[in-house]
Structure 1
Amino acid sequence: MPNVREEVYTEHGKIQLGAFTTELGITIPDVQIAFERVGPKSAPVIVVCHALTGNQFTVGTEDHPGWWSGLIGEGKNIDTAKWQVITMNVLGGCNGTTGPLNLNPKGHPYRANFPFVSVRDIVKSQYLALNQMGIQQVHAIIGGSLGGMQVLEWGVLYPNFSKLLFPLATSPYLSDFGMAYNSIARYAITNDPNWKNGEYDKNPEFGLSIARMIGMISYRSPELFNSRFSREAREGFGEHHQEKSYQVDSYLTYQGEKFLNRFDANSYLYLLKVMDHHDLGRNRGDWKRAIALIEAKIIAISYKGDIIYPTEFLEEVVNEHKKYHSSSKHHEVSTVFGHDGFLVEFDKWGHLVEEGLDCEIN
Structure 2
Amino acid sequence: MFMAANWVTVRRYCARSFLTAVVTFAAVSTRAEGELQSIELGRCALENGEEILDCQVSFRVYGKRNEEASNIVLMPSWHNGDSKALFDYGYLGPGGIVDTHHYQVIAIDSFGNGVSSSPSNSRQVPFPEFTIRDMVNAQHRLLLEELGLEHIHAVVGASMGGHQVYEWMMMHPEFASHFVPIEASPWPTFYDYVKERGWMTALDSPLDSPQEIARVTDVISAMDTLLFWTPDYVNRELDEGTFESRFDAMRRHRSKERLIDRASQTRALLSHDIRRNREDFAKRLSQLHHISALAVVFESDMTVIPGPNLELAEALGFEVINISGDCGHFGPNPECYQSDVASHVNEFLKQGNQRHLLRRSLQFDGVSREYFVYVPDGHGDTPLPVVMGLHGLGSTATGFATSYDLNAHAKKNGYIIVYPQGSHFQGVIGDDSTVEPYLISTWNDETSNFTPTEAGPHCTDDRLKYPCPPDCGSCNHCAWTSCNDDSGFLLQVLDEVTREFNTDASRYYIVGNSNGGGMAMRLGCDHPKRFAAIGVSIYQMPPGHTCGPASGLPMLHLYGEKDDGVGHDGTATSDGWIYTSAAKNTQDWAGAMNCGNEIETWRTAISEANGLICSAYTNCPNSGQEVASCMDPEAGHEWRGQRITQISASCVTAAQQESLPGQPLCPQPEASDQRWGMDLFWQFFQRYQRLP
- 1:57-97 deviation per Cα after TM superposition (whole angstroms, max 9, x unaligned): 1454xxxxx23xx24222445221321101111122212x1
Structure 1 distance, partners of 2:282, 2:329, is 24
Please point out which of 57, 63, 68 is paired with 1:39.
Answer: 63
Q: Distance in 2 between matches of 1:337 and 1:272?
A: 22
**Counterparts of residues 272-283 of structure 1 (less than 5 Å):** 272-283=266-277
The CA deviation string for residues 98-154 of structure 1, in whole angstroms up to 9 with x for no partner, is: 1102333xxxx53xx111101110000011011211111111111122111100000
Structure 2: how far apart are the matches of 1:147 and 1:178? Answer: 16
Which structure is higher in RCO with an 8 Å CA cutoff and minimum separation 6? 1
The reply to whether residue 13 of structure 1 matches residue 3 of structure 2 is: no
| Contact 1:49–1:88 (CA under 8 A) maintained in structure 2 | yes
* Structure 1 match to 2:344: 352
Change (3 A) 1:177 1:76: closer
Give the match for residue 110 of structure 2: 90
Structure 1 regions of 5+ residues with no counterpart?
1-5, 61-65, 235-245, 323-327
Matched AA of 2:37? G
Opposite residue 174 of structure 1, the aligned amino acid is: P
Aligned partners of 2:77 and 2:86 also within 8 Å:
no
- Structure 1 52/99 Cα, relative in aligned 2: closer, same or farther at 3 Å? same
Residue of structure 2 equivalent to 1:342: 332
User: Do the aligned partners of 1:71 and 1:78 also contact (CA within 8 Å) in 2?
Assistant: yes
For residues 249-260 of structure 1, the aligned pairs below 5 Å read 249-256=244-251, 258-260=252-254
- Write out aligned runs for 1:1-362 (5 A): 9-42=33-66, 43=69, 44-58=71-85, 60=87, 66-67=88-89, 70-95=90-115, 97-104=116-123, 110=125, 113-131=126-144, 132-191=146-205, 195-196=207-208, 204-228=213-237, 246-247=242-243, 249-256=244-251, 258-260=252-254, 264-285=258-279, 288-294=282-288, 295-322=290-317, 328-344=318-334, 345-360=337-352, 361-362=667-668
Q: Shift of the alpha carbon at 1:288?
A: 4.8
- Residue 261 of structure 1 and its aligned partner are, at CA, apart by 5.9
Equivalents in 2 of 1:303, 1:89: separation in Å?
A: 24
Moved more, 16-25 or 51-60: 51-60
Q: Secondary structure of 1:170's match?
A: coil
Off by >6 Å, runs of 4+ in structure 1 = 200-203
2-structure distance, mates of 1:202, 1:23: 35
Change (3 A) 1:337 1:262: farther
Q: CA deviation at 1:311?
A: 3.0
Hey, what's the Cα distance between the residues in 2 that align with 1:141 and 1:341? 20
State the superposition RMSD in angstroms.
2.7
Corresponding letter in the other structure for 1:38: Y
Provide the rounded CA distance (Å) in 2 between the counterparts of 1:212 and 1:233. Answer: 18
Counterpart amino acid of residue 171 in structure 1: S
Question: 2:202, 2:53 → 1: CA distance?
Answer: 31
Q: Match for residue 466 of structure 2?
A: none
String of CA shifts for 1:193-217, please: whole Å, max 9, x gaps: xx13xxx799923313421331221
Q: Give the letter aligned to residue 128 of structure 1.
A: R
Calculate percent identity across the aligned residue pairs. 21
d(CA) in 2 for partners of 1:255, 1:339: 15
Q: 1:211 to 1:94 in 2, by over 3 A?
A: same
CA positional deviation for 1:343: 2.8
Q: CA deviation at 1:253?
A: 2.4
Label 1:293 to 1:343 Cα distance change in 2 as closer, same or farther (>3 A).
Answer: farther
- SS of the aligned residue for 1:182 comes to helix
CA 274–48 in structure 1, closer or farther in 2 if over 3 Å, else same = same
How far the C-alpha of 1:349 sits from its partner, in A, is 1.9
* Structure 2 counterpart SS, 1:16: strand
Mapped partners of 2:97, 2:256: distance in 1: 28
> In the alignment, what sits opposite 2:533?
none
Q: Secondary structure at the match of 2:75?
A: strand
> Contact 2:65/2:72 (CA < 8 Å) preserved in 1?
no
Report SS of the residue matched to 1:142. strand
Partner amino acid for 1:85? V
Distance 2:286 2:46 in 1: 25
SS of the equivalent of 2:74 reads strand
C-alpha distance in structure 2 between counterparts of 1:205 and 1:285, whole Å: 44
CA contact (8 A) 1:35 1:88 kept: yes
1:172-193 deviation digits (Å, cap 9, x = unpaired): 212221222222222223336x
**How far off its partner does 1:157 sit?**
0.4
Q: Which runs of 5+ in 2 are unaligned?
A: 1-28, 353-666, 669-692
In the alignment, the residues of structure 2 paired with residue 281 and residue 94 of structure 1 have an alpha-carbon distance, to the nearest angstrom, of 28
Query: Which structure dedicates a bigger proportion of its chain to helix?
Result: 1
Q: Could you give the per-residue CA deviations for residues 34-61 of structure 1, whole angstroms, max 9, x where no partner exists?
A: 101111133511111221111111454x
Residue 544 of structure 2 is matched in structure 1 by none
Shift of 1:287: 5.6
1:304-358, CA deviations, whole angstroms, 9 ceiling, x for partnerless residues?
Answer: 1112333322112111111xxxxx2111012211122123421222100010011
Aligned to 1:343, what secondary structure does the other structure show? coil
TM-score normalised by structure 1 residue count: 0.80
Q: Which has the larger radius of gyration?
A: 2
SS at match of 1:204: helix
- Return 208-217 or 166-175, whichever deviates more: 208-217
* 1:306 maps to amino acid: D
In 2, are the aligned partners of 1:203 and 1:265 still within 8 Å (CA)?
no
**CA separation in 1, counterparts of 2:283 and 2:117?**
32
Q: Deviations over 1:5-30 (max 9, x none)?
A: x9994442001101111011112221
Amino acid at match of 1:23: E
- Equivalent pairs counted in the alignment come to 318
Return the TM-score normalized by structure 2.
Answer: 0.43
Give the Cα–Cα distance (whole angstroms) in 1 for the partners of residues 232 and 86 of structure 2.
30
Q: Is the partner of 2:307 in helix, strand or coil?
A: helix
Q: In structure 2, what is the Cα distance between the partners aligned to 1:263 and 1:143?
A: 25
Shift in Å at residue 263 of structure 1?
6.3
Write the distance in 2 (CA, Å) between the matches of 1:233 and 1:219.
Answer: 19
Distance in 1 between residues matched to 2:320 and 2:50, nearest whole Å: 38
* Structure 1 residues 303 and 287: alpha-carbon distance in aligned structure 2, compared to 1, 3 A threshold: farther
Quickly say closer, same or farther: Cα 1:77–1:120, change in 2 above 3 A. closer
